[in-house]
Amino acid sequence: MTTHRVRRHAARALTMTVAACAVAAATVLPAAASDRPTRQQLMADCASGAGKCTFNAPRLGEAYLGELRQVSNSLFNCSTSDSTQSMTWDDTVGSTDSLGVSVTAGGKIAGIVDLSVTASYSHSWSSSHSESSSLNMTVKPGEVGWISRAQVMQRVSGTWQTHYDSPQWDHYYWFFQDTITSPAKNGTDGKSNAVVVKTRKMTAAEKRSCTAEGHQGRTFVAPR
């Protein structure tokens, strides 16, 4: 065999070897990626107790006032004079993590976060807040009124550590960052809860309903 033919065969063999390695790598990489748990899987194990979890190095952000939300039924005034009425309202505000998943009050996740925040800041953390009361509201003719409320909120950021008794996804420990948004105590960082009466003009369809549904000349309450 000539020198030229030897070199040609050697080059061909090298090309086939590189191609084979590329195929092997393409087969292994997706499998390795799928061996990592998702955050949802780790949180589920924390919640069920399958993993022994802690929420490390919690950092409380500055409190802020959340958005106003309707917390009462709506009062429609189909009469020709102002209507004043006492309206009851109730509001429950919960917590969510950075994926938008609810942190249930009384659950294992809430208990772990509360334990961590209490140890670091010497005050308890709450995953939910409920409040109710009543308020007099005045609605002018042709308007609709309701009660809205805004809750003082606060974010707590930290690192979840999940420990397994036997390796899961080839590791005993897994870590991930998380931020939980939750209701804060009224007055935190100088912020206060707000309860306000809101009113607006009825729409054309709502005005027509005053007559069509027999409400003309009086007020009626519609559930929120």
122-139 residue pLDDT tens: 999 999 999 999 999 999
The pLDDT mean for the chain works out to 88
User: How far is residue 121 CA from its own chain's centroid?
Assistant: 23
Task: Return the sign of the alpha-carbon dihedral for residues 170, 176, 180, 185.
Answer: positive
Q: Which two tokens stand for residue 33?
A: 């990626």
Instruction: Give the whole-angstrom CA distance, residue 135 versus residue 7.
Output: 93
Distance CA 103, CA 114 (A): 12
Compute the average pLDDT of residues 96-104: 94
Q: pLDDT digit string (tens) for 173-192?
A: 999 999 999 999 999 999 99
pLDDT for 18:
39
Q: How confident is the model at residue 205 (pLDDT cuts 50, 70, 90)?
A: very high
Provide, rounded to the nearest whole percent, the portion of the chain with pLDDT above 70. 85
pLDDT above 90: residue 212? no
**How would you label 164-178 residue by residue, b for 16+ Cβ within 10 Å and e otherwise?**
eeeebeeeeebeeeb
* Residue-level pLDDT at 35: 83
Residue 50 has pLDDT above 90, yes or no: yes
Helices (H) and strands (E) in the chain, counts: 4, 13
Find tokens 């997706």 and name the residue.
30
List of E strands, 63-193: 64-65, 69-70, 74-77, 83-93, 95-96, 102-103, 129-139, 143-150, 152-168, 171-183
